[in-house]
Amino acid sequence: MIHQKRRQELLSRLPEDAVVIVSTNSEQKRNSDVSYPFRPDSNFWYLTGFEEPDAIAVFSKNNYTMYLRPKDQTKEIWNGVRLGVDLAPKTLLVDKAFDIDVFFENIDSLIKKDSIVYFDAPGNSVWKDNSSTNAHNHKIDSLYESVLQPLNPHISEMRLIKDKNEIQSMQEAADLAAKAHLNAMKSSRPGLYEHNIASGFDSMFRNENSEHAYPPIVASGENACVLHYTENNKELKDGDLILIDAGCEINGYASDITRTFPINGKFNVAQREIYNIVLEAQKSAIASIKPGASSNRPHEIACEIIKNGLIKLGIMGSHGELTKFYMHNTGHWLGLDVHDVGSKLIDDNFREFKSGMVTTVEPGIYIRKDDKIESKYWGIGIRIEDDVLVTESGNHILSEKAVKDIDAIENLMS
């Protein structure tokens, strides 16, 4: 079982007598007695495979214990079946299972004095919700103060390198999101609303038993210049572009794709000029990705190309600030979390790419209304984002099925 292997691998990176405590989330209230859809904590899921809320796993070289919600007939009738304490050992391969309340009552006795506890405080919402009494709070505080080491850096290093099965899930997530982006290009036309385009993503993801990995951005016209625009409710205007940043989750693994295209299917001259700068920046940045290359190289390359392109068009002076038009980084790690774990720096230096890492590459240009800039460029916001796997020989673009060349987009939309 993959989760067992991961626990063993994690322990092999820690001292002999290490004890690991890892917890998942509680359900989060949306309003009244309605909760948001539950999503397990990524670290907890990675190490246990257990998908219920309110659980804490404790494991060491010789012991694996799960604290979880007990069976409860009334709650199960209303909210769904719980695994429960009795079935947990066989299902989760734990040595022992207890009611989660036992954990909070017995925190002190769980940790042997001479062991090193790896644990991330304050951790997940499960701690807040279950520690509502002062007595519990006090015990958790004392747990934090005992011989604790941060767990996150160790799991992050593991999660940063994806194995064959993880890559397979990420390929499927990229394929499905790419298909939904192509569908959006085909269904776009003036007079529709952003939410009409967004609903195509909802439907295609749900039809494959998948869901959004993050709230999608469907931004027409100048809305594209708002980086985290999620209102997604404006009318699509003839002559405008639309920027869509949307990805889905398969087996917990995210895709994260952005495409920008003309609502009416034809780029105008100004849009074409800006688009081709971003596209060249994106392709050149991807080309630099290979084992041993600096993980900051894609950003350096993208910035250089975007800067030169904007200067050439007279949008930016040669001493201008690039961050006025390109204010975010060119990529982030991708995995169980859309902004996945793993530091970019090692001892203040950018780490090198290694086979099995997955990064996004997503340069953009955003031009707000500005009297010093020709008005034909106002309101243009363009980002192109792909998901790129580092391979032994270089890289593979997981999201390559989502076309991005101007001719390919215009052909698809005609």
Which CB, 194 or 256, lies closer to Mn ion? 256
Which CB, 53 or 363, lies closer to Mn ion? 363
Which CB, 82 or 259, lies closer to Mn ion? 259
Taking the complex as a whole, the smallest distance from the CB of residue 102 to Mn ion amounts, in Å, to 41
Tokens for 87, please give them: 């079935």
Which CB, 94 or 398, lies closer to Mn ion? 398
Q: Which residues bind Mn ion (CB under 5 A)?
A: 256, 360
Q: Which residue is nearest to Mn ion (CB)?
A: 256
Catalytic pick from 41, 172, 385, 387?
385
Is 339 assigned a catalytic role? yes
d(CA 200, CA 182): 10
Taking the complex as a whole, the smallest distance from the CB of residue 332 to Mn ion amounts, in Å, to 6
Is 212 assigned a catalytic role? no
CA nearest to 259, candidates 216, 226, 295: 216
Taking the complex as a whole, the smallest distance from the CB of residue 360 to Mn ion amounts, in Å, to 4
Is 154 assigned a catalytic role? no
Is 245 assigned a catalytic role? yes
Catalytic pick from 108, 339, 374, 405?
339
Catalytic pick from 3, 136, 189, 328?
328
Is 52 assigned a catalytic role? no
Taking the complex as a whole, the smallest distance from the CB of residue 330 to Mn ion amounts, in Å, to 10
Is 41 assigned a catalytic role? no
Catalytic pick from 145, 228, 348, 392?
228
84 exposed, middle or buried (CB, 10 Å; 0-12, 13-18, 19+)? Answer: middle
Taking the complex as a whole, the smallest distance from the CB of residue 386 to Mn ion amounts, in Å, to 10
Taking the complex as a whole, the smallest distance from the CB of residue 334 to Mn ion amounts, in Å, to 7
Whether residue 325 contacts residue 316, with contact meaning beta carbons closer than 8 Å, is answered with yes
Catalytic pick from 166, 172, 249, 362?
362
Which CB, 123 or 247, lies closer to Mn ion? 247
Catalytic pick from 332, 340, 386, 387?
332
Which CB, 83 or 257, lies closer to Mn ion? 257
Whether residue 124 contacts residue 319, with contact meaning beta carbons closer than 8 Å, is answered with no
Is 7 assigned a catalytic role? no
Cite the active site residues.
Answer: 33, 228, 245, 256, 328, 332, 339, 362, 366, 383, 385
